[in-house]
Homo-oligomer: A and B are copies of this chain.
Amino acid sequence: MEDYSKKDLLECYRLIEPYIHNTPVMSSRLIDEIVGAKVYFKCENFQRMGAYKMRGATHAILRLSSDQRAKGVVTHSSGNFAQALALAAQSLGVTAHIVMPSDAPAVKKSAVINYGGRIVECEPNLEARKAMADKVASETGASFLHPSNDRDVILGQGTACMEFLKEHPDLDFIFVPVGGGGLIAGTALAANFFSKGTKVIGAEPFEVDDAYRSFHSGHIETNLTTNTMADGLKTILGDQTLPIILRLVDRIIRVEEKEILSAMRLIWERMKLVVEPSSAVALAALIRSSQEYTNSKIGIIISGGNVDLSKLSF
């Protein structure tokens, strides 16, 4: 990509390194046997606040001027980016305004509050969220940061892949889940600049296959349904993420809900890792297509582990 360079990623990594974890890579003999390949899992569920989003949020704030930082940041999200921006802002002494729909689960609101975020409630629809974020930005002068469709966020998310390739330079493929596209765009950039031909593959539920359709049509497609357990993948691509995906991603594989559940259970039971459904989508895609990847060396980015355990009955 003309707009991105190896130097951009290296500079990004240098900036955020003090604020993030270099997360461990794990593997499972049983999963290797099931897939018929050697599979490595980059465990971003162990990242600060429990997801890779911490990388992009931290980078985006660090790129602001001190004047901008003094006025705070604002985003609209009820997911991991809300928590990530709150914690990254707290670490850097910046005020974070998080626009959340009034019907967001209490557990997500309290997580943001625990990380020092200031919640602004709005009606539960996308227009209201955008309007409220604009209002907060104009009233406070806070900088709006998009959860995925933002150059600095994309670069930040790419650092997980940089660490992964440093530890395993010979990965043939890296599988990542696709929601707004920040992670896959960053991963594709990092693989482009730091690997010798590692191919990046997206994984998406059939229920929200906008990225698959966008990848084939070349335009930003939307979803008619969002009935997926992978709640982090309900968002659509943007004008910053789509061009990178079109140019650098190898393919996007779609999976059924039952495949997501089965892959998630495999990771919990066999790897003893708490991962969120969105993370399991990448393994589900690999298992579904495993006959095409036999004997390869495969990386999977476990995107996060923030599950509402109050739904679980021990």
Is A24 in contact with chain B by the CB < 8 A criterion? yes
> Could you tell me if B312 and A261 are in contact, using CB atoms closer than 8 angstroms?
no
> Could you tell me if B269 and A272 are in contact, using CB atoms closer than 8 angstroms?
no
Is A39 in contact with chain B by the CB < 8 A criterion? no
Q: How far is the CA of A305 from the CA of B46 in the complex (A)?
A: 17
In A288-314, the 8 Å CB interface with B consists of 305, 309, 311-314
Residues of B within 8 A of A26 (CB): 46
Residues of B within 8 A of A4 (CB): none
Residues of B within 8 A of A312 (CB): 312-314
Closest-CB distance, A120 to chain B (whole angstroms) = 25
Residues of B within 8 A of A46 (CB): 26, 272
Residues of B within 8 A of A309 (CB): 265, 268-269
Closest-CB distance, A292 to chain B (whole angstroms) = 27
> Could you tell me if A264 and B313 are in contact, using CB atoms closer than 8 angstroms?
no
Closest-CB distance, A113 to chain B (whole angstroms) = 14
Is A62 in contact with chain B by the CB < 8 A criterion? no
Smallest CB-CB separation from A260: which chain B residue?
A: B314
Q: CB-CB contacts of A224-256 with B at 8 A, as 1s and 0s? A: 000001000000000000000000000000000
Q: How far is the CA of A45 from the CA of B272 in the complex (A)?
A: 7
Q: Known contacts A268-B274, A309-B269; is A261 also within 8 Å of B24 by CB?
A: no
Is A89 in contact with chain B by the CB < 8 A criterion? no
Is A50 in contact with chain B by the CB < 8 A criterion? yes
Is A273 in contact with chain B by the CB < 8 A criterion? yes
Q: Residues of A with Cβ closer than 8 Å to B?
A: 24, 26, 43, 45-46, 50, 229, 261, 264-265, 268-269, 272-275, 277, 305, 309, 311-314
Closest 3 CB pairs of A and B: A272-B305, A272-B274, A45-B272
